Amino acid sequence: METLKGAARRLAADAIHKGMQPVGLHPYTRADGEPMFWRIRCKHPETGKKWIRPMHWAGRGYVIGEPPAPAVGKPLYRLHELADPTDGRIVSVVEGEACADALARLGLLATTSGSVSSAEGADWSPLMGRRVRLWPDNDDAGRKYADEVAARLHTLGCAVERIDVDALGLPEKGDCVDWLAANPVADAVAVNALPLVEEYPKTARAACPAQPVSPEPLPDPLPAVPAFNPALLPDCVRTWCTDAADSLQVPLDFTAVPAMVGLAAALGGRHLAVRLKTHGHWYERPILWGCVVGRPSSGKSPALSPARRMLESVIGPERAGYEHARHVHEGKAILADARRAHAKDEARKAIKKGMAIDPEALGESARFDDEAPSEPRLVVNDATVEKLGELLNENPRGLIQFRDELAGWLASLDREGREQDRAFWLECWNGTGPYTSDRIGRGTVRIEACAVSILGGMQPGKLAEYVRGAVRGGFSDDGLMQRFQLAVYPDLPASWRYTDRPMDRGAEDCARTAFMRLRALNPADVGAESAEACDVPFLRLSEGAQDLFIEWQTELMQRLRGGGEPAFMESHLAKYPALAGRLALVLHLADNGTGPVSADAMLKALGWCEHLEGHARRVYAPATDNGLTAAHLLLRKRDSLPDGFTTRDVYRKCWAGLDDPGTVAEALNVLTDHRQVIEVSEMTGGRPSVAYRWSA
């Protein structure tokens, strides 16, 4: 069971990664003390920048956001301490939970509604008829907050007082925490003796209208990613990839990843392995899952096509051989049918003549039990698990699944009743053992070895939706997403130019030769070994490659054991040693290497891992930005929303990435924090109606 602090650190992982430190976890309770939600508070020790987000229990885990507020409004902080209406002590109202906690440590009753924009949405009724003292922050926003609170307290018959913050010598934006720090021996008596504003209004007043504010620009929601280094590609496909990327005006990542996944598929996930330990039995098979992420019309699909066409051409000769074998088999079947018919005629004649018949000899003469040849397949697009199992049995070397849009396929695996399909795909990434599927319709299908590479594209909005749900919601926490280790989300080129030229035929022919060579590769010809512990031939690492791998893996695992990464990122990076081995094997063989995997191939593989880590952080960013990505999406929809829009107005439009209330609420929190929108509400006698206006 995850602890409160553990959940808070998980949800604040991105802020912590950026140098902020957790400084508070503040519970908001019901009147009986039962927690409703908590507010996480982090602060940067150098810049003073704050990160504050609500957290609540969502049935299956802690998630960012507040639960639905009661009809009367959101609860006040430390509400359980205000439950006794006969308590005659002054109630101090401050701005922020840290201030309320500081006064409570002195034995004072203290509360707050939260941030400066939260007064109108709170339920102030627990203070009805009581003596209340306001301690605003020393800035315009603090004074406005005090004015708004006073207006509501007067309608509840409260005796409202206000501390004269101008007389306290506080710095700009200073609050009660700052005053207590400057007066370390102060106690409750000293606080109650602080000077008050002489003639603070004692009658109800309307809340002050919002003053014009200057919005702050939103920070970039996506971490920076490195530019792809062409030197990481095998020599045989480098020019082919760069030529295609230039022709399509797409990032080189868009053609490099399909090339690597395609080369691995041509070799086959069950044809040759790499042994990553000198003595231990650690074998990795060249099975790669890749995904290119980009906006619609960014060129993802055209960039995937060259690798797909190359694989179709690779399987062409095998398919031609299959067609010949199929025709031969059909001819043999026709001859067998003729022999069977002739045997029947001879048997009838023998019976009429009363001659003896040898049943065994007769059956042998008409016997034909040759199995029909299996159609060679390399590429599949949309097959059920059961059908894919049959194809794998017919093509035990392995397959590659191409999906132009991976989001739909991933979402389908999250549906109820598809749990076994997820288990099957996890086995396909391992490629190490058999898998049995039991279905009423098809019966039992035993797959001797699952080995399927995957390649496809995804749009950023769909990616954010899937990643956010998988990581935050706790479902799909089986590592399926982390197996897409060749996932790239590059920046598009800053400029675009029109291109219309022939492709480099020499580069394409060189790449085709490499693909064909891998497909035709005989493990014995490259010095592969065999061992009882590995069900396919394997290559070892050269001494230089082994040393590089050990040094790199040691550094990586020590970094992960340090606990500085979120759980999902740790899970992703922990699979990189396997990825490094798989990439090194493909790189070594693609450039016609033989014998142990070279140090040069391992260096390139480790370079790939470094490059892919940067992209992984961008891929997972929507899961940890706590609404920043959604805030950018909402800001771009500004002209499509009326002035004074509600959360409901946004999510009912079903915009991609903004189609659920929780995400929209997070986006509005971010926009409010950056003064892009102003929260306004109207007291109607029931639950406050909260709306938002654009600040400028």
Q: How far apart are CA 29 and CA 79, in angstroms?
A: 6
Answer whether residue 657 shows pLDDT above 80. Answer: no
Instruction: Report the pLDDT averaged over residues 35-50.
Output: 90
Integer Cα distance of 623 and 13 in angstroms: 10
The helix-helix angle for 253-267 and 505-520 (nearest 10°) equals 30
- Within 414-542, residue ranges assigned H as helices are 419-430, 460-472, 505-520
Using alpha carbons, select from 269, 292, 266 the residue that is nearest to residue 511: 266
d(C-alpha 77, C-alpha 66), whole Å: 14
| Cβ–Cβ < 8 Å for 638, 694 | yes
Q: Which band of pLDDT confidence, cut at 50, 70 and 90, is reported for residue 644?
A: confident
E strands present in 295-418? 379-380, 399-403
Query: Which secondary structure element, helix H or strand E, spans residue 387, and what is its range?
Result: helix 385-394
Of all residues in the chain, the percent with pLDDT exceeding 70 is: 91
Per-residue confidence at 155, pLDDT binned at 50, 70, 90?
A: confident
Apex 454 CA angle, 450 and 457, nearest 5: 160
pLDDT above 50: residue 203: no
- CA-CA-CA-CA torsion sign (483, 486, 492, 497): negative
Asked if residue 474 lies in contact with residue 560, where contact means CB atoms within 8 angstroms, the answer is: no
397 contacts 268 by C-beta, under 8 angstroms: yes
Lowest mean pLDDT among 197-206, 595-604, 624-633: 197-206
CB-based contacts of 223: which residues, under 8 Å, 6+ apart? 614, 617, 618, 621
- Predicted confidence at residue 399, as pLDDT, reads 95
Least confident of 51-65, 414-428, 498-512: 414-428
Question: For residue range 66-103, what is the model confidence (pLDDT) as tens digits?
Answer: 888 887 789 999 999 988 767 778 999 999 999 999 99
Q: Which residue has the tokens 């450039």?
A: 591
Q: What does residue 500 show for φ and ψ, rounded to 5 degrees?
A: -155, 90
pLDDT of residue 211: 42
Backbone φ, ψ for residue 675 (5° rounding): 55, 25
- Model confidence at 222, pLDDT cuts 50, 70, 90, reads confident
Q: How many residues does the chain have?
A: 696
* Long-range contacts of the stretch 166-169 (C-beta < 8 A, 24+): 166/138, 167/195, 168/138, 168/194, 168/195
pLDDT for residue 443: 62
- Could you tell me the pLDDT band of residue 464, with boundaries at 50, 70 and 90? confident
Judge contact between 536 and 585, C-beta under 8 A: no
Q: What is the mean pLDDT of the chain?
A: 86
- Find where tokens 């496809």 sit: 456
Range of lowest pLDDT (83-92, 118-127, 192-201, 658-667): 192-201
Query: How large is the angle between the packed helices 576-590 and 599-624, nearest 10 degrees?
Result: 140
Q: Give the per-residue pLDDT at 102.
A: 93
- Put residue 352 in one of left, alpha, beta given phi > 0 → left and psi -120 to 50 → alpha: alpha
Q: What is the pLDDT of residue 531?
A: 92
- Whole-angstrom Cα distance, residue 620 to residue 219? 17
Contact 120, 681 (CB under 8 A): yes
439 vs 181: which has the higher pLDDT? 181
Q: What is the pLDDT of residues 305-319, one digit of tens each?
A: 999 999 999 888 877
Give the C-alpha separation, 558 to 440, whole Å: 48
Write the CA distances from 315 to 267, 308, 318, 513, integer angstroms.
12, 11, 5, 13
Give pLDDT, residue 340. Answer: 80
Q: Are 215 and 673 in contact (CB under 8 A)?
A: no
Token pair 């797909």 is found at 308
Whose tokens are 């395609």? That residue is: 262
| pLDDT exceeds cutoff 50 at 465 | yes
Q: What is the DSSP letter of 383?
A: -
The whole-number average pLDDT for the span 571-580 is 95
* Secondary structure (DSSP) of 520-585: H--GGGGT-EEETTEEEEEEEBPHHHHHHHHHHHHHHHHHHHTT-S-HHHHHHHTTHHHHHHHHHH
Q: How far is CA 210 from the centre of its chain?
A: 38
| Terminal-residue alpha carbon distance, the chain | 45
Tell me the average pLDDT across 159-180: 92
CA-nearest of 244, 347, 348, 352 to 304 is 244
Nearest CA-CA partner of 523 in 261, 259, 318, 274: 274
Task: Note the pTM of the prediction, 2 decimals.
Answer: 0.64
> Does the structure show a pLDDT above 80 at 647?
yes
List the structure tokens of 275.
Answer: 């042994």
Distance CA 464, CA 212 (A): 34
pLDDT confidence of 579, banded at 50, 70, 90? Answer: very high
Task: Out of 230-234, 478-482, 650-654, pick the least confident.
Answer: 478-482
111 and 91 Cβ atoms separated by less than 8 Å: yes
The C-alpha atoms of residue 142 and residue 145 are separated, in whole angstroms, by 5
